């Protein structure tokens, strides 16, 4: 297969030594194998996620994503913009949609961008890495490079919110998307098909400001994973990964549960299955270590 090139928007959490740096590591390893070239958008900025709203109003928020698109258009014309973070993807795609739906808004946005000598057409396709994998490769292709099938591991596919709604992955339903399960199968592991909480919200950004309320949700997400016999949770979203992984001790303390459920990225699974090392797969980034995967990676 020929090399595929994309205009890449890593997002804040993927930066070095940030909460999802291990995500980026595993994505890069995965992309090496799949011969995907990720061209980082030069000088990209934060998308303001879905929490910046109360600080910046509507237009400033849109302007942030617009700037990223503008830079991408300059640097990587004709390439699709690919984000690995759900929030980044959503914010950018939403901005694109709004700008095209509303000429006025497009005008005002460009007026704002002009302040830094930029202008935006917002005509590059904005995609999530998962879309790229499913649409540009497909499960069969993704299965080919598997060197170490993840045999015997039962994995709950936790899709979460923003990779799923409002856009989601083409052909998948909002209530019961199946692509993570299919991916897990492709890699030789066993999916938990009846995992009820696969699209349950984890509290998102409110995990910071409303920890109790959010952790109540997170508890449900992990509990149901255990109920379905899962040994691992896999997710496509850095916010989900962080929220579901790092608060388990606090939840155990509060609810007397004994959670110790590793939460990894699809890219981690793939890197391991593709025979990458523990480090390359970002497994060293697990706060709760994914022992089975480490075993396989070490083999």
Given the rule CB under 8 A, which residues bind another protein?
12-13, 15-22, 43-46, 48-60, 62-64, 67, 108-109, 111-118, 161-162, 165-166, 173-176, 196, 200-201, 203-206, 208-210, 213-214, 217, 246-247, 249-250, 284-287
d(CA 275, CA 33): 10
Contact present, 188 and 273 (Cβ < 8 Å): yes
Phi and psi torsions of 298, nearest 5°: -70, -30
Judged by beta carbon, residue 209 or residue 277, the one nearer another protein is 209
Is the CB of 17 or the CB of 170 nearer to another protein? 17
174's torsion region: left (phi>0), alpha (psi -120 to 50) or beta?
Answer: alpha
The overall longest dimension of the chain from CA atoms, in Å, is 58
The nearest distance, CB 2 to another protein, in angstroms, is 33
Nearest approach, Cβ of 58 to another protein (angstroms)? 4
- Between CA 198 and CA 272 the distance in angstroms is 23
- Angle between helix 86-101 and 238-246 (nearest 10): 140
Nearer to another protein, 34 or 202 (CB): 202
d(CA 16, CA 72): 21
Length of the chain, in residues: 299
CB closer to another protein, 4 vs 254: 254
Please state the closest distance from residue 188 (CB atom) to another protein, in A. Answer: 26
Residue 97 or 190: the one with the smaller Cβ distance to another protein is: 97
Q: How far is the CB of 137 from another protein (least distance, A)?
A: 26
Question: Quick one: 75 or 113, whose CB is closer to another protein?
Answer: 113
How many C-beta neighbours within 10 Å does residue 194 have? 11
């Amino acid at each position: 297969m020929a090399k595929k090139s994309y205009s890449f928007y890593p997002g804040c959490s993927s930066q070095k030594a940030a909460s999802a740096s291990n995500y980026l590591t595993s994505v890069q390893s995965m992309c090496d194998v799949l011969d995907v070239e990720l061209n980082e958008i030069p000088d990209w900025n934060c998308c303001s996620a879905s929490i910046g709203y109360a600080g910046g109003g509507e237009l400033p928020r849109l302007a942030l994503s617009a700037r990223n698109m503008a830079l991408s258009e300059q640097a990587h014309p004709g390439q699709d913009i690919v984000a690995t973070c759900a929030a980044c993807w959503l914010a950018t795609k939403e901005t694109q949609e709004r700008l095209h739906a509303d000429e006025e808004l497009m005008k005002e946005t460009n007026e704002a961008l002009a302040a830094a000598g930029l202008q935006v057409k917002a005509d590059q396709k904005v995609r999530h890495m998962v879309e790229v994998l499913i649409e540009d490769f497909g499960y069969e292709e993704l299965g080919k490079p598997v060197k170490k099938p993840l045999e015997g591991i039962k994995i709950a596919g936790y899709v979460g919110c923003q990779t799923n709604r409002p856009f989601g992955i083409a052909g998948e339903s909002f209530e019961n998307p199946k692509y993570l399960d299919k991916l897990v199968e492709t890699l030789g592991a066993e999916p938990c098909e009846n995992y009820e909480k696969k699209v349950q919200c984890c509290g998102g950004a409110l995990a910071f400001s409303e920890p109790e309320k959010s952790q109540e949700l997170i508890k449900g997400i992990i509990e149901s994973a255990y109920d379905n016999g899962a040994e691992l949770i896999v997710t496509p979203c850095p916010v989900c990964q962080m929220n579901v992984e790092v608060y388990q001790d606090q939840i155990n303390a509060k609810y007397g549960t004994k959670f110790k459920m590793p939460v990894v990225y699809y890219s981690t699974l793939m890197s391991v299955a593709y025979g990458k090392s523990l480090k390359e797969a970002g497994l060293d980034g697990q706060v709760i270590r994914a022992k089975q995967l480490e075993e396989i990676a070490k083999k």
